[in-house]
Amino acid sequence: MSIIQRNGYASTEAFAEQMALIIRAYIAHTARINLDEFEDSLQSMSPEEQESLAAVPFAQSLQATRKSLAAVPGAHIESILPYLDRLHRMLEPN
């Protein structure tokens, strides 16, 4: 019996699907927080600085990024919230 089956998953596919949902929810949650903080920091910039930043490809992709993050169901994100500290520890680079 594999470690995946010993942990209650019927198959590696079932495990992979569940893990993908968890990782997507984690990424969406943390990315939304970071984007909110970044956009809040833009408010302290002068209009000229904001206009210059708007021309940068990274800034132009923010709306597309927000749209992608919005595709993650809120229920998935809510389900991982009790485990955020553990997920942060597990997923942070060494």
pLDDT over 90 (residue 16)? yes
* 23 token code pair: 């990782």
> C-alpha dihedral over 27, 32, 37, 43, to 10 degrees?
150
What is the reported pLDDT for 92? 86
Kindly state the percentage of the chain with pLDDT values over 70: 100
- Sketch the domain layout of the chain as residue ranges: 3-91
pTM: 0.78
| Cα radius of gyration rounded to whole Å, the chain | 18
- pLDDT at residue 3 above 90? no
User: Comparing C-alpha atoms, which of 65, 32, 38, 64 is closest to residue 50?
Assistant: 38
* Distance (Å, whole) CA 33 – CA 6: 35
